[in-house]
Amino acid sequence: MSHTTQTEVGSVVSLWQYPVKSMMGEELNATEVTERGLLGDRAYALVDSSDGKVATAKNPRKWPRLFDFRATFIEPTRAAAKVPPVRIALPDGTTVTSDQGDLNRILSKALSREVTLRAAEREAVNAEEYWPDMEGLDHRDTVTDFTLPEGTFFDCAMVHLLTTATLDRLRELYPQGRFEVRRFRPNIVVQLASGEKGFAENAWVGHTLAIGTAVRLNITGPCGRCVMTTLAQGDLSRDPGILRTAAQHNQVNVGVYAAVARGGTIRRGDSVRIE
pLDDT in tens, 179-201: 999 999 999 999 999 888 899 99
- Range 155-163 average pLDDT: 96
pLDDT at 3: 58
Q: Where residue 58 sits, what CATH number does that domain have?
A: 2.40.33.20
pLDDT-derived band of residue 5, with 50, 70 and 90 as boundaries? confident
Instruction: List the alpha helices (DSSP H) in 73-232.
Output: 103-111, 164-173, 181-184
pLDDT of residue 1: 44
Average pLDDT in the chain: 95
Give residue 141's pLDDT. 92
Rounded Cα distance between 170 and 175, Å, is: 8
Q: Is the pLDDT of residue 2 over 70?
A: no
> What mean pLDDT do residues 163-189 have?
97
Q: Which domain holds residue 170?
A: 7-274
- Residue 79's pLDDT band (boundaries 50, 70, 90)? confident
Does 46 fall in a domain? yes
Residue 199 lies in a domain: yes
Looking at residue 78, its pLDDT comes to 87
**β-strands 271-274, 7-17 pairing:** antiparallel
Where in the chain does DSSP place strands (E)?
7-17, 26-28, 30-34, 37-38, 44-48, 70-73, 86-89, 95-97, 115-119, 126-131, 142-147, 159-163, 188-192, 208-211, 215-224, 253-262, 264-267, 271-274
Task: Report the pLDDT averaged over residues 202-207.
Answer: 97
Cβ-based neighbours of 69, under 8 Å, separated by 6 or more: 20, 23, 24, 88, 89, 90, 91, 110
Length of the chain: 275
Per-residue pLDDT at 183: 97
Residue 229 lies in a domain: yes
18-40, pLDDT tens digit by residue? Answer: 999 999 999 999 999 999 999 99
Q: Contact at 8 Å (CB) between 201 and 228?
A: no
Residue at 21 is within a domain = yes
Supply the pLDDT for residue 13: 98
How would residue 82 be classed by pLDDT, with cut points 50, 70 and 90?
Answer: confident
> Angle at Cα 133 formed by Cα 130 and Cα 139, nearest 5°?
60
**Mean pLDDT confidence for 244-261:** 97
Does 1 fall in a domain? no
2 lies in a domain? no
* Number of domains making up the chain: 1
Measure the CA–CA gap between 204 and 215, rounded to whole angstroms: 16
Mean pLDDT along residues 98-112: 96
What does the pLDDT read at residue 122? 78
